Amino acid sequence: MRLVLLGPPGSGKGTQAALLKDRLNVVHISTGDLLRAAVAAGTELGKIAKATMDAGELVSDDLVLQLLEDRLGQPDVANGYILDGYPRNLAQAKALDALLSRLEQNIDQALALIVDEEQIVARLAQRASEQGRTDDSESVVRHRLHVYAEQTAPVVDYYEAKGLLARIDGVGSIEEINQRLMDAM
Ligand code: AP5
């Protein structure tokens, strides 16, 4: 089972992927987590990515594709995976298709979480106060939402055109949303 989990910042991709990976016995691959780990480890890639992430912009396609390619080369992906935060623009969606075709794999389904902007701003304000993630200030969150609308929303249409998309109401309890995702698959 190979899934793409889509949705704006704060829509619950990471939360839901963490539950789905256990239910489906697959791995959770978050490009945001991979990038934050590179920043925390102080790698060259992390140093390049940090300012871009703090500003709520997208890190360059080449850097993220390299991270993803390395991750998909690891043996634990054999049973499947949930991609969270990738692809984030049409160029990445096409690069993923090319990579998967080389690996003789395909995406089984894309799931898009739908959450309104004010709920997102409230969720991420709460997370900012609890965890202090550097890109969760209100101004950067609003910018991330703008970047999502401009660059990532077309990826939802891309998977819809392939007949792979399910849209899921992302408002409710975490368990309810998880069940909606399972039902959609
Ligand atoms: P990334 O880490 O992918 O961030 P994001 O997409 O902005 O997503 P978030 O982690 O903020 O939200 P989420 O949808 O996972 O929601 P979550 O479950 O955490 O990317 C960060 C940055 O890295 C990007 O801005 C970019 O710079 C870079 N990057 C990453 N991938 C890239 C790529 N492919 N190309 C280029 N650059 C890339 O939930 C959010 C909060 O809400 C949590 O506190 C959670 O507890 C809470 N919550 C969850 N569900 C519910 C619910 N049902 N009700 C109430 N609260 C809830």
Ligand 1 pocket, Cβ-based, cut-off 6 angstroms: 7, 9-15, 31-32, 35, 52-53, 56-59, 64, 85-86, 88, 92, 123, 127, 135, 144, 174, 177
Residue 150, pLDDT score = 98
Residue 90, pLDDT score = 98
Q: Residue 180 Cα, ligand 1 centroid: separation in angstroms?
A: 19
Please give the model's pTM, rounded to 2 decimal places.
Answer: 0.96
Torsion, CA 31, CA 108, CA 97, CA 154, rounded to 10: -70
Residue 163, pLDDT score = 98
At a CB cut-off of 8 Å and minimum separation 6, what does 51 contact? none
Whose CA is closest to atom 42 on ligand 1? 123
- The pLDDT of 162-171, averaged and rounded, is 98
Whose CA is closest to atom 48 on ligand 1? 12
Strand 81-84 versus strand 109-114 pairing type:
unpaired
Nearest to 15 by CA among 185, 173, 183: 173
Q: Residue 65 Cα, ligand 1 centroid: separation in angstroms?
A: 18
pLDDT digits (tens, 9 = 90+) for 103-115: 999 999 999 999 9
Q: Peptide bond before 87: cis, by omega within 30 degrees of 0?
A: yes
Task: Point out the ligand 1 atom lying closest to the alpha carbon of residue 9.
Answer: 7
- Let me know if 92 is exposed, middle or buried by CB neighbors in 10 A (0-12, 13-18, 19+): buried
pLDDT digits (tens, 9 = 90+) for 67-89: 999 999 999 999 999 999 999 99
Instruction: Quote the mean pLDDT of the chain.
Output: 97
Residue 120, pLDDT score = 97
Block residue for tokens 């995702």: 181
Residue 65, pLDDT score = 96
Model confidence at 37, in pLDDT bands (50, 70, 90)?
Answer: very high
CA distance 42 to 26: 28
